[in-house]
Structure formats: structure tokens, C-alpha cells
Structure 1
Amino acid sequence: MQEELLLKIIQNQQEIIDLLQSELKISNAASSNVESITIFPKSDKDIEGFKTHLINKGRSKNCIDTYVKGVELFFRQYATLNSENLSKYEQELKNKWKPKTVNLRICGMTAYMEYVGFKDYQFHRAKEQKRTFCDNAINKEQYEHLISWAKDNSQKVWLITKVIAGTGVRVSELVNLKTAMLEQGYADIIGKGNKQRRIYFPDRLIKDIKNYCGKTYIIENRFGGQMTSRGVSSLLIKAAPKAGVPKEVMHPHSFRHFFAKEFLKQNNDITLLGDLLGHSDISTTAIYTRLTSEEQAQQINEVVGW
């Protein structure tokens, strides 16, 4: 009786083994007929892990938010990461959005594909038409008007504009500057692309702002904590109509551009300017030499007398 029971158990086990082997063969055969399958070395889509990956690479908060949003938009429409879906997504982007937005989405998806180890598709960036003028940067007259208004009406806006216009820092770098750094006159910071550079606080700037900075950070929120890049941008936009300055020039990068143009008026060393701004390519720095369309017209009128 005991031998019969043991024999039955062995037979059942053998049936289970045969069944598993059969399913494994079917699975392998099916896989061999699929051109592109989704492989996630990380768990599921791992958006949080992707965020951490971008932080570790030194990406700014705005960059991380943009990249993550693009990846989330892809997965809302497509459940699977494969070449066919990526091709459809790329075409839809190019049909719907301007080249700048398309390329931001493409950069985000490319970074994500690198993170998860997917190498079966390559995006093609949209061609951006480069303008020969720059009309979204604040000019000197507007800047002086803003500074005059802000000193009496919004000291935080005044402080933000003074620091960016006096150092050329990016907004993501601005929010990390500490008041103690003013003592040494410079700050060694990690900027875009995880690159380290030194920015300087001119003596005149230190004298102007030292009594208006926060206890820990040069720029602090109303609770005495560190401000976010988005908070800075929002503050500037809200101040535009009150200050009588065009809304399109009231953004952090506008004052970085102002720093570059004013610097070149006093010192034509574009290589030094590139170092101060954290550019690895001098062609990027050259963008800051562009005049507004109004300035171009004025110079043409001064030159052409024939």
C-alpha cells in the first residue's frame, strides 16, 4: 500500500515537470518570433528610480520635471516600450508641437531609455529655426526701471534680479547660493550637466545686497526656507504688470542674458564670459551677443547713410 502511494506521488511530480518543460518551450518559441520586446532591467517603469538617476547626474529640478513629464505622457498613451510605439510617439510629437518642445520630450525619453537599458530605437531631433535676434531678454532701460520699482515695492524681486544680473547664474543655481558665500566673494557650484565652476560676487553687488539676504540662503521664501526655481519664476511673472515691465522679459534667464550683454560691453572676452556662464561650447555663449530686433534696427539706421 505504501509503495503504491509513493509511486503515485512520483508519477504526479513527473507530470508537473513535463508540463513546466512544455510551457517553457512554448514561451521560448514565442519570444523568438517577436521583433522587439520590452525589457525593464529596473522594476516596472520605475519612474521614481529615473528621478533619482537624474538627480545623481546633476540635472536641475526643471529639467527633471520636464523629462519625467515626457516619460509619463508616453506611458499614458502606450503601455509598452518598444520601437513601434516610440516611432509613433515621435511622429505624433512632431505633428503636434513646436521643435523646441519636441526636442525636450525626445531628450527626456532618450535619458529614460538609457536608464532602463533599452537600445532598440533612436530618435531624430526636430530642426529648430534659429533666430538672428533675441527679443525676450530685458534691456537696460527696462532693467533700471524694474530695479527702481522693486527696491520700494518688492525687495525679493529686487534681490533676485540683482543677483542674477550681477553674477549670470542660472535660476537652479541661484536658489542654492548661501549668504555665507558673500564673505569669500565667490562660490564653487555644480551647474548644468554636473559641471563645476566658480561664480564671483562683485564688490558692488555684495555692498548692495548684504543687508537684504536670508539667514541661510541669499534668496529665501516667506517662511525663511530655500526657494524653488518655480517659485522664483512665478514671483517675477506676477511682478511684471505691477512694475510696468513686459511679461515676456520677466523670467530668470532674461537677467542671465542681461548679465552677458552688459559684460561684453565692458569686456569683449567671450571665452571668459563662457567660463563664467558655465558653457562648454563657445557657440552657446555667442547666442548672448545677439541684439533685439529693435537694437538691430537702431544700429542699421546709425550705419546706413547712403
Structure 2
Amino acid sequence: MEKCFRTQLEAYLVHLQLAERSPATRRQYRGAILDFIEYLGGEPATKEVVIRYKNRLQKIYLPASVNAKLAALNGFFSFVGGDGLRVKQLKIQRQAYCPKERELTKAEYLRLVKTAQRRGDLRLSLLMQTICSTGIRVSELRFITAEAVRRGEALVQLKGKTRTVLIAGRMRSALQRYMRRAGIQAGPIFVSRAGRPLDRSNIWKMMRGLCRGAGVAAEKVFPHNLRHLFARCFYAADRDIAKLADILGHSNINTTRLYIVSTGQEHLRRMDALGLVV
């Protein structure tokens, strides 16, 4: 069984690639499935064994991580014709607020941008502003090209989906000035010295380098948090979650709801303001 699963795993990874799943997703799925194969230790895979493995995962990982691993296993089981091995994911109630230690505030974001500017790192400053002012995913940053800046909109094509990301006036002007200064005529704006689009790990590392100078906790500083900040600021100004979902490229509005949760402190202020305590 173990040898058979290992062989089928390689075929499944090819299947995921053809389905245009991201390299990060494929790595995550591969690790989760290999962990299960190791757990089997040559024992036949039965529904009872999978349930036992699920219970073991719950003792080790947070619920969201357990569900991610179960999603990988369930997909693999369906691929190999083992639908009878699939197990239910954990039910997780959506958290009503974001932990304060993880929420990047607008003031903190602006300090990060200004710190990059003081250090003369215009590229990093504009990169953060581009993500935060458009709500774009860091994986979509390569679609912010010289051509897109001139048009005022970027055509993003990923995972079989196509959407348009608008580049507003002030951001567009700032990028045009940068293009002239850097001599960028075509292709992605944010590239490495070798001319390749910057990837997530490089961007994260550069942003983390600003933390001490900006006085911002490192656990708050990562590219995707800029997208969350955009979502909260846009929703606070517009209060139209459907429009926000379109801008973010979400097909499910429940995903968008996760982006606009605020800290527990804001919930406490609103509860106190109800005037229900004498």
C-alpha cells in the first residue's frame, strides 16, 4: 500500500500542476500526503485508520492546519479512487475579530513606507504602496508592468481566472516617475537585479528589514497583510462588501468577510458605546 501510494502521489502532483495549482499548494499537498504515508507504516489504509490519523492531527496542530492537511488527503483519495477514505473537515466558527498582535494598522504601514524612503529604497516603498493601494496579491505583482501603468490597469491572469486591477491616479503617477528614473520601458516594474520579478520570499525579507526602523512588530509585517489593510480601508470608506469582493478577485463573499475583520479592541469600543450598562 505504501509503495502504491508513493507512486500514485507523483501522478497526483502532475494532476495538480495541470490543474494550475500553485507550486506552494503542490508542496503543501505533497508534504501532507507523505506524512500520512509515513503514519501508515505499511498498514492498509482504511476509513478507521484515516479517522485515527485525523484525531492525531488535532492533538498536534491548530484546526485550520488540520483542515489544510485533510483537504490534501481528501483530494488525493478521490484521485486514486478511494472516496470511501475521505473524512470530514473540522467545523471552525469564523472569528469575529482579528488578533491585535497580527493586525497591521494604517499608521504602521505608513511608517514602513517612510522608513523605506528614508533608506533610499524607492523600489520597496513603491512596491508596498502598489500592493496596499490596489489590493493585489503578491503573486499578482508581476502583472504590474510598464504597459499596465501606462494603461492605468493591469490584466491579471492566474489559475484560469482573468481580472482587471485598477491603478489609481496618484499611484500611477508615482510608478511612472519611477519608470522614467529607472529606465523601465516594458515588462514588470518590480524586478531583481537579474531582471526577474521579485518573489514572495524576497519581498517578505525586504519588508522585515524595515521593522526595527519603523517600530513595527515583525509578526505584522508580511505582503498579504497589505492586502488585508487595503480591504479594511476600502470597506470602512465604502461599506460595499460585494464591490470589495470584485476588487479583491474573490468568487465567494465569505472569503471577503475574513479580510475586513477588525481587532477585538474595536469590538469592545462598540459594545461599550451601546450604553447597556448602568
Indicate the residue corresponding to 1:10 in structure 2.
none
Supply the AA of the counterpart residue of 2:8.
Answer: K
| Cα separation, 2, equivalents of 1:129 and 1:241 | 35
**For residues 147-166 of structure 1, what are the structure 2 equivalents within 5 Å?**
147-153=113-119, 154-166=121-133
Supply the AA of the counterpart residue of 2:139.
Answer: S
Indicate the residue corresponding to 1:92 in structure 2.
56
Q: Indicate yes or no: 2:72 matched with 1:105.
A: no
Indicate the residue corresponding to 1:274 in structure 2.
245
TM-score, reference length from structure 2: 0.83
Shift of 1:86: 2.6
Change (3 A) 1:70 1:166: same
**Is contact 1:61–1:172 with CA below 8 Å preserved after alignment?**
no
| Cα separation, 2, equivalents of 1:115 and 1:211 | 51
Supply the AA of the counterpart residue of 2:17.
Answer: I
Indicate the residue corresponding to 1:138 in structure 2.
104
Supply the AA of the counterpart residue of 1:82.
Answer: A
**Is contact 1:159–1:209 with CA below 8 Å preserved after alignment?**
yes
Q: For 1:210-249, what per-residue CA distance to the aligned partner results, in whole angstroms no more than 9, with x for missing partners?
A: 3446663232223221222233233323432332212222
Indicate the residue corresponding to 1:11 in structure 2.
none
**For residues 168-187 of structure 1, what are the structure 2 equivalents within 5 Å?**
168-187=135-154
Indicate the residue corresponding to 2:83 in structure 1.
119
Q: Kindly, what percent of the aligned residue pairs are identical?
A: 24
Query: Structure 1 residue runs of 4+, over 4 Å off?
Result: 37-40, 298-306
**Is contact 2:2–2:37 with CA below 8 Å preserved after alignment?**
no
Shift of 1:255: 0.7
Change (3 A) 1:128 1:143: same
**Is contact 2:73–2:86 with CA below 8 Å preserved after alignment?**
no
| Greater displacement, 100-109 / 212-221 | 212-221
Q: Indicate yes or no: 2:194 matched with 1:223.
A: yes
SS of 1:180's equivalent in the other structure is helix
Aligned length: 267
SS of 1:117's equivalent in the other structure is coil
| Cα separation, 2, equivalents of 1:234 and 1:50 | 32
| Cα separation, 1, equivalents of 2:221 and 2:135 | 15
Supply the AA of the counterpart residue of 1:141.
Answer: A
| Cα separation, 2, equivalents of 1:43 and 1:298 | 54
Shift of 1:79: 5.0
Shift of 1:133: 1.1
**Is contact 1:137–1:255 with CA below 8 Å preserved after alignment?**
no
Q: For 1:94-116, what per-residue CA distance to the aligned partner results, in whole angstroms no more than 9, with x for missing partners?
A: 12111011011111122222333
Q: Indicate yes or no: 2:43 matched with 1:77.
A: no
Rg larger for: 1
TM-score, reference length from structure 1: 0.76
